């Protein structure tokens, strides 16, 4: 596998509470379980790292208990941090409530990841073969969006840039969003985010509009549809619906991040877009059978899962004829 994943998004600490149902207004619930875990962009980075890709982090971590917690989590995954800690500010956090139907509700508090200047980005240098990724969260913060958008626009032409707008897409000023989309090589988003950018319609129609009107430099777009899988639309006009896998979900937190991390990892080692999407669907399916946002599987686990489902990949980047 060549190149690194250079992640210039956000990482936060998730405080995860498991409850049967969300409490009514003014009511109180007692959680059945609690965990403190690395979250946000960490989930995507973990998915790429566990499938064999070298990952480095070019975003901001804070100085304090949450920043220290994230640095330890990065070190455990072998993820190098390229930037020094932001003084006098801790990393942000997110309270995640996971209900009995495996759905989740979030409340976030921004920290160091919401601050970015061109000087802070100077240690983040890309080289030939690297892949760059960011999410909408860093672009939604007033204190980081301009610096990050400018840095993305200045990327060398041969560096692939992958963008996930995330559910906070409505908080990204449209001029900033347009600048980032114009430099995007691969856009991965869910159906709601795709419609927020390009308007309502069926997935194929929206994907066509995304490429024609919003992502002029993109090789393709991926529109994720949860358990149903995803749709891949290529700039050359090819479209493929890649079905998901039926599993017993216990926690959907981080499934989209796992999908993107596995997809980029697959592309980086020479898989076609549809092969990488099938690989990512399998990774996301495995992740929702486990508790925790950073529940991404390893490459070996994904290959075993695909073999069990009769969709084994015969060699890196080559799918068996039965899996087309």
- pLDDT tens column, 66-85: 999 999 999 999 999 999 99
Residue 35 reports pLDDT greater than 60: yes
What's residue 98's pLDDT?
84
Residue 1 reports pLDDT greater than 50: no
Mean pLDDT of the chain: 92
Question: For the segment 174-216, what is each residue's pLDDT rounded down to a tens digit?
Answer: 999 999 999 999 999 999 999 999 999 999 999 999 999 999 9
Q: Which string of b and e fits 33-49 if b means at least 16 CB within 10 Å?
A: eeeebbbbbbbbbbbbb
What's residue 63's pLDDT?
97
Pair 91, 66: CB distance under 8 Å: yes
Question: For the segment 235-254, what is each residue's pLDDT rounded down to a tens digit?
Answer: 998 999 999 999 998 888 78
Model confidence at 23, pLDDT cuts 50, 70, 90, reads: confident
What's residue 38's pLDDT?
94
**More reliable by pLDDT, 133 or 101:** 133
Query: What are the two backbone dihedrals, phi and then psi, of residue 27, each rounded to the nearest 5 degrees?
Result: -95, 170
Pair 222, 263: CB distance under 8 Å: yes
Task: Choose the most confident range, by mean pLDDT, from 35-39, 182-186, 313-317.
Answer: 182-186
Q: Which two tokens stand for residue 223?
A: 């529109």
What's residue 136's pLDDT?
96
What's residue 293's pLDDT?
60
Q: How far is CA 131 from CA 3, 31, 77, in A?
A: 7, 40, 18
* pTM of the predicted model as reported, rounded to 2 decimal places: 0.91
**More reliable by pLDDT, 311 or 257:** 257
Residue 182 C-alpha from the chain's centroid: 19
Residues with Cβ within 8 Å of 113's Cβ and at least 6 positions away in sequence, in order, are 10, 11, 12, 40, 59, 60, 61, 62, 91, 92, 137, 138, 141, 144
What's residue 324's pLDDT?
26
Beta-sheet strands, E only, within the chain: 4-7, 11-18, 33-40, 54-57, 80-81, 93-98, 104-109, 131-135, 161-164, 186-190, 220-224, 229-234, 239-243, 313-315, 318-319
**Residue spans of alpha helices (H) in 161-272:** 174-182, 191-198, 203-209, 255-268
The stretch 280-301 carries a mean pLDDT of: 91
């Amino acid at each position: 596998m060549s190149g690194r994943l250079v992640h210039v998004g956000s990482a936060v600490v998730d405080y995860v509470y498991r409850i049967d149902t969300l409490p009514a207004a003014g009511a109180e619930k007692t959680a059945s379980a609690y965990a403190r875990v690395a979250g946000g962009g960490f989930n995507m980075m973990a998915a790429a790292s566990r499938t064999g890709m070298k990952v480095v982090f070019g975003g901001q971590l804070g100085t304090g208990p949450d920043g220290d917690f994230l640095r330890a989590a990065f070190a455990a995954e072998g993820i190098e941090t390229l930037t020094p800690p932001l003084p006098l500010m801790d990393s942000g956090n997110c309270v995640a409530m996971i209900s009995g139907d495996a759905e989740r509700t979030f409340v976030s508090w921004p920290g160091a990841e919401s601050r970015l200047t061109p000087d802070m980005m100077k240690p983040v240098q890309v080289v030939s073969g690297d892949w760059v990724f960011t999410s909408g969260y860093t672009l939604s913060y007033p204190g980081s969006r301009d610096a990050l958008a400018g840095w993305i626009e200045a990327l060398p032409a041969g560096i692939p840039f992958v963008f996930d707008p995330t559910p906070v897409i409505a908080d990204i000023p449209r001029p900033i969003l347009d600048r980032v989309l114009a430099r995007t090589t691969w856009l991965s988003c869910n159906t709601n985010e795709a419609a927020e950018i390009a308007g309502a319609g069926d997935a194929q129609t929206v994907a066509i509009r995304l490429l024609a009107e919003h992502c002029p430099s993109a090789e393709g777009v991926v529109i994720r549809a949860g358990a149903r899988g995803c749709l891949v639309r290529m700039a050359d006009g090819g479209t493929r619906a890649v079905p998901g896998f039926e599993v017993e979900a216990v926690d959907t937190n981080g499934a989209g991040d796992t999908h993107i991390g596995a997809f980029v990892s697959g592309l980086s080692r020479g898989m076609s877009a549809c092969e990488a999407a099938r690989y990512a669907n399998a990774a996301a399916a495995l992740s929702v059978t486990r508790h925790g946002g950073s529940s991404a599987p390893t490459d070996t686990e994904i290959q075993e899962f695909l073999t069990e489902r009769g969709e084994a990949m015969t060699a890196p980047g080559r799918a068996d004829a039965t899996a087309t």
